[in-house]
Amino acid sequence: MEGDRNITLSSAMLNEHPGRGNSRWVDPFLGNAETRLPEPEGVAAAWWRAKPPVGNTHPGAVLPFGMVSACAYSGAYVTGYGRYGVSLTGDSPPVAFERHEALGIAHFQQSGTGRIRVYYNYLLTTPLTGEGLEGLGTRFALAEERAWPGYYSARLVESNVACEVTCTQRGAIHRYEFPQEVTGKVAIDLTAGGLLLDGMRSFPQGGRVEIVEPSVAEGHVWMEGIPIYFRIEVPRASRTGLWEEGMVLPGETLREFPRTYTGEEVNPFGVWFEAGAAGEPLEVRIGFSLRNPERCRDALAQAEEMSFSAVADKAIQRWDVVLGKIAVEGGTAELREIFYSAFYHATLKPADFRNENPFSSRDGPFFFDLATLWDQYKTQLPLLMTLWPEWGGHFVEFLSEVANREGAFPVSYLMDNAPERFNKQATGLCHMILADAQMRGVEADWERILRLLWVTSLSSKVSKGRFAEFARHQVVQPLSHTLDLACAHFAIAQMAKHLGYQRIYDQSLPLLRAWPNAFDENTGLLREDSDYYEGENWNYSFRFLHDMVGRIKLAGGEEAFLDLLDRFFGFREARPGETVHHFEGLNNEPDMEAPYLYHYVGRPDRTAEVVRNVIRYQFATGRGGLPGNDDSGGLSSWLVWSMMGLFPVTGMPVMLICSPVFPRVALKLPGGEFVVRTRNHHADHYYVQRAWLNGRELDRSYLKLSEFQAESELLLEMGKEPSPWGSGSRPPSFVS
């Protein structure tokens, strides 16, 4: 690419948020730092935290479900942004870096996870102001940070360089402003990866870079077994070169090393570009692909005639479309900021790598960053499939591709060549996800999917793994997995019944009924003889099951189950000599659906009290606005549903009704809006007194999924005191 190519370089950093829709309420900094929340009172004071009180989000530039993200990189836990070290307990996160600083801008970040195996942060890009590559590897203090959806900017204090970045679906565009007396450079480290903490680095397993034109470099680097192809264009750069170990390599235009898969550290190397004159800005455009260099070129061509500001404008427009799927009216500015920041975080992941499957030459849907599927399946995926059923179809196709290729459905899925099998947390989740998708009307080849579920779960050829163990013993450890697998077989049975596969249905029946094997009938709780992950038997005991009638009966009936719930949430004192492991208060998600179990004993008023206490004491604006890890949007999706006054029961055709925070919420479904509207709305009026669906009085605290449809309105009359509404009905229990 020649230096006089037709690209308009911006003359100044962007200063104003260009969005006109709901994106203007989003704060990408929300959840980036340790929590700063209101002091809990009442029942909320009894809740505890199993994980660090930090959201682990980042403010980087990214599109909805964007393949590429870009953010300031310090090497901190867990996204690469910020100051924290590894934190695995409920204590305050340790500080790894005393200052808020960065080495430059890195690409590809997780969102809100805890400790995982792969941390990305590739192609670290650093602006330089000294002789040669002086300053490479220097940590610069960050100041004047600004961010909105699709855009991030900051000033590196010591070098006085202003940097900003925006994204396309498969690319990133950087812009750097240097001091007037400085001829600036940018250096890109192709070996960077992971975090600058013990055991959290990623090292290249092969790579190649070549200067193919005076201001263009192309190549690829293998990270965690995945090829990352790139094309870097720096319009009007006057000089370009390669570097290794911080030293310029004069005259060299090609550098490569073979794939070794040793995972060992290599000498840092990369490419650099220099501006044409002092004070001249540099714009860096990077296109990415996991397939081939041609797709990198195509990624850049999509924005070839667009200025930086035009690309940023297009990014915010895309966000306004996505965030426009839910419209709220009324409420305070603070509540709107909390709500739309949560909706924003709920639509960052999974990352959409369509047509970028690195394991196949075939185009089609492909996703990464299902890092916390055990959280996402309860709240986030039902939200996405409700609002975008066509997206749900792509996601179902992707899960089928993974199962075909690997012989099993994933438990989590990261950007590497060894999909995670994190056995402590959950299992069989995709079965519930697929059943949920089918019930929500997602179009797919469901007979083929049922056959896949059979082959990977129930067939006699499945001789090992948790499904085989469960088939033999009808109980597995950890005991929470027994509940997962019973629900998974319920999902298979429902799909088989719908499609008319009697043999599969019959074989599922004894397994879906095996959930009581995990419980102690003397306590009504899960047995204590298990290694529960990030919680205790109490926390895992209160989750939705397909057989809630049987679950409540096992606890001794409705009054006994209500008593368990009240002790769990802190409405009643523990019994003499009893240790109650209370609700984790959304700091962690094993018991995130527990507040809604009150519906099953006719006490939706209790649900309203718990949920409103969670919203009041566990969420806020600002960097400290989240109570715990956002977990790829699973936590934020809980908040989105709960603030709307609805909650899904994954894999079952039920929507529970709670207490809307806003006077009016409209979900834009295919074919029209579903509206939740309140009468007598007030911040302290969170008890439903009466309800109407499309003008007909509704005396139950749930909707059938068939009633949750376009061109419908749920009207709720609210009051300050509990009412009998919903006490005479129970959400259905599904036992085949």
Condensed to tens digits (0 to 9), the pLDDT of residues 203-257 reads: 999 999 999 999 999 999 999 999 999 999 999 899 999 999 999 999 999 999 8
Residue 6 pLDDT level (bands cut at 50, 70, 90): very low
| DSSP-based three-state secondary structure for 327 | strand
Closest to 481 in 3D by CA, of 419, 436, 526, 420: 526
Residues 702-716 pLDDT 10s: 999 999 999 999 999
604 forms bridges with which residues in the sheet?
Answer: none
Distance CA 618, CA 615 (A): 6
Domain membership of residue 625 (yes or no) is no
Domain membership of residue 281 as a residue range: 60-304
175 lies in some domain: yes
Closest CA to 471 of 496, 489, 453, 492: 489
Instruction: Let me know the angle formed at the C-alpha of 156 by 150 and 157, rounded to the nearest 5 degrees.
Output: 145
Evaluate whether 154 touches 72 at the Cβ level (below 8 Å). yes
Asked if the structure places residue 474 within a domain, the reply is: no
Residue 421 is predicted with a pLDDT of 65
Cβ neighbors of 181 (< 8 A, separation 6 or more) are 278, 279
Q: Is residue 21 a contact partner of residue 325, using CB atoms and an 8 Å limit?
A: no
Could you give the 3-state DSSP secondary structure of residue 384? helix
Give the pLDDT confidence score for residue 499 in this predicted structure. Answer: 96
Peptide bond before residue 478 is cis, with ω within 30 degrees of 0: yes
- The answer for residues whose C-beta is within 8 angstroms of residue 632's C-beta and 6 or more apart is 110, 111, 112, 113, 348, 349, 350, 369, 370, 371, 372, 375, 376, 380
Contacts of 63 (CB under 8 A, 6+ apart): 150, 167, 168, 169, 315, 318, 319
The whole-angstrom separation of Cα 535 and Cα 50 is 7
Strand blocks (E) in 92-138: 101-102, 104-107, 122-128
Does the bond joining 18 to the residue before it have cis omega, within 30 degrees of 0? no
**pLDDT higher than threshold 90 for residue 56:** yes
Provide the pLDDT confidence category of residue 61 given band limits of 50, 70 and 90.
very high
The confidence score (pLDDT) of residue 404 equals 92
Q: How far is 139 from 99, CA to CA, in rounded Å?
A: 9
Q: Report d(CA 577, CA 433) in Å as an integer.
A: 40
Residue 206 lies inside a defined structural domain of this protein: yes
Q: Decide if pLDDT at 7 tops 50.
A: no
Domain count, the chain: 1
Does residue 643 fall inside a structural domain?
no
Asked if pLDDT for residue 3 goes beyond 60, the answer is no
Residue 468 above 80 pLDDT? yes
Model pLDDT, residue 2: 34
Q: Between 634-644 and 333-346, two packed helices, what is the crossing angle to 10 degrees?
A: 130
- Say if strands 367-368 and 226-233 run parallel, antiparallel, or are unpaired: unpaired
Q: Which two tokens stand for residue 195?
A: 């975090």
For residue 215, give the CATH number of its domain. Answer: 2.70.98.10
Tokens 């550098």 belong to 255
Over 80: is that where the pLDDT of 116 sits? yes
Q: Is residue 97 part of a domain?
A: yes
537, two tokens: 């038997």
String of DSSP letters for 652-679: SSEEEE---SSSEEEEEETTEEEEEEEE
Examine the pLDDT at 111 and tell me if it is beyond 70. yes
Of 640, 558, 560, 679, nearest to 386 (Cα)?
640
Q: What is the pLDDT of residue 459?
A: 81
Calculate the dihedral angle through the C-alpha atoms of 383, 386, 392, 396, rounding to the nearest 10 degrees.
80
Q: Percent of the chain scored above 70 by pLDDT?
A: 97
State the residue for tokens 């566990």. 618
Instruction: Say yes or no to pLDDT of 11 above 70.
Output: no
How high is the pLDDT of residue 4?
Answer: 35
Question: Residue 562 pLDDT > 70, yes or no?
Answer: yes
Between helices 604-618 and 558-569, what is the axis angle to 10°? 10
Peptide bond into 78 cis (omega under 30): yes
- CA 418 from centroid of its chain's CA atoms: 20
Q: DSSP alpha helices (H): ranges in 220-326?
A: 293-301, 308-323
Please tell me the distance from the alpha carbon of residue 128 to that of residue 112, in angstroms, as a whole number. 31
Structure tokens given for 470 = 């469960």
Statement: residue 736 has pLDDT above 80: no
Q: Please give the structure tokens belonging to residue 332.
A: 């305070």
Task: List, in sequence order, every residue forming a beta bridge with 172; answer none if it has no partner.
Answer: 167, 286
Q: Establish if 443 belongs to a structural domain.
A: no
pLDDT of residue 143: 97
Give strand pairing partners of 254.
Answer: 210
Q: Give the number of other Cβ atoms within 10 Å of residue 239's Cβ.
A: 14
Mean of pLDDT over the chain: 94
Task: Say if strands 672-679 and 712-719 run parallel, antiparallel, or are unpaired.
Answer: parallel
Specify the residue for token string 């999902």.
Answer: 491
Q: For the residues 19-41, what does the mean pLDDT come to?
A: 96
- Whole-angstrom distance, CA of residue 240 vs CA of residue 480: 57
Q: Name the band, by pLDDT with cuts 50, 70 and 90, for residue 263.
A: low
User: Which pLDDT band, with edges at 50, 70 and 90, does 14 fall under?
Assistant: confident
Alpha helices in 545-603, H assignment, sequence order: 548-554, 558-569
CA atoms of 490 and 630, how far apart (whole Å) = 29
Q: Are 591 and 549 in contact (CB under 8 A)?
A: no
Distances (CA, A) of 588 to 98, 375, 481, 540, 584: 27, 9, 18, 12, 6
Contacts 24+ apart (CB under 8 A), 87-92: 87/51, 87/52, 87/54, 88/51, 88/52, 88/114, 88/115, 89/50, 89/51, 89/52, 90/48, 90/49, 90/50, 90/51, 90/52, 90/53, 90/587, 91/52, 92/34, 92/52, 92/53
